[in-house]
């Protein structure tokens, strides 16, 4: 049974975005759990969340629905998130520095994956001819997706990683009000991602897209 060419092309186009996205999100969350475990909290470890198995981390909206909507919309930027890894910050040693290190483990992993993907891209000409274009697309998309995830998650809004870092750095009288903003972050993200662009205001282009383009250009120059 032959697969219609249009369907095969659509599946291929979808796969070169979804595969690196799911892998990037999965390892991002696993890195949080691993860092927490090494710093004294084994909650994620006991729940099986320190794992490269995507099924342990998939969030219906953040991992599947939102990336699908962004892909169909053709907005030029694809990202998502997984189920947050449970961390008991009171068990981390030291607690505040532990919070910062656990938060940075996720974006740090994405930066590392972007560099690895770029290095592997150099070896892609040696792939079998029938997989070469597909493999190069996966690796190129992996570079950009990991950079987007890293920069996006470093935005200073809890529960994003940048917000966790800021809460850990600020004095208690400032950290507590910032931590309470967590309940509004999801609404702010939806407004910034969908409502404001309809009005011609693309906040995430300046907050995420511009830094990502700068870092990507810098990496490509250094690594080649």
3 state SS of 53? coil
Q: Please, which residues have CB within 8 angstroms of residue 183's CB and are 6 or more apart in sequence?
A: none
- Preceding omega of 9 cis (within 30 degrees of 0): no
DSSP-assigned states of every residue in 68-87:
HHHHHHT-S------PPPP-
Name the strand (E) or helix (H) holding 123.
Answer: helix 95-123
Paired tokens of 221: 């120059």
182 is catalytic: no
Closest C-alpha to 84, from 36, 42, 49: 49
Residues 6+ away with beta carbon under 8 Å from 114: 142, 143, 144, 146, 147, 150, 219
Answer positive or negative: Cα dihedral of 128, 130, 133, 139: negative
List the catalytic residue out of 9, 29, 182, 217: 29
Q: Could you list the active site residues? A: 29
């Amino acid at each position: 049974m032959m697969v219609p060419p249009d369907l095969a092309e659509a599946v291929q186009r979808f796969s070169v975005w979804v595969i690196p996205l799911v892998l990037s999100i999965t390892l991002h969350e696993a890195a949080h759990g691993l860092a927490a475990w090494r710093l004294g909290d084994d909650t994620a470890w006991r729940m099986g969340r320190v794992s490269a198995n995507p099924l342990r981390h998939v969030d219906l909206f953040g991992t599947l629905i939102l990336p699908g909507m962004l892909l169909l919309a053709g907005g030029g930027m694809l990202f998502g998130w997984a189920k947050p890894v449970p961390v008991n910050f009171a068990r981390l040693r030291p607690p505040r520095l532990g919070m910062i290190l656990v938060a940075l483990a996720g974006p740090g992993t994405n930066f590392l994956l972007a560099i690895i993907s770029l290095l592997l891209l150099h070896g892609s000409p040696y792939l079998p001819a029938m997989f070469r274009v597909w493999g190069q697309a996966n690796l190129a998309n992996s570079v950009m997706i990991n950079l987007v995830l890293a920069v996006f998650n470093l935005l200073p809004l809890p529960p994003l990683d940048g917000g966790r870092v800021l809460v850990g750095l600020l004095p208690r009288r400032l950290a507590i009000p910032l931590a309470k903003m967590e309940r509004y972050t999801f609404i702010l993200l939806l407004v910034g991602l969908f409502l404001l662009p309809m009005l011609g205001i693309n906040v995430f282009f300046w907050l995420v897209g511009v830094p990502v383009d700068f870092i990507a250009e810098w990496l490509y120059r250094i690594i080649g």
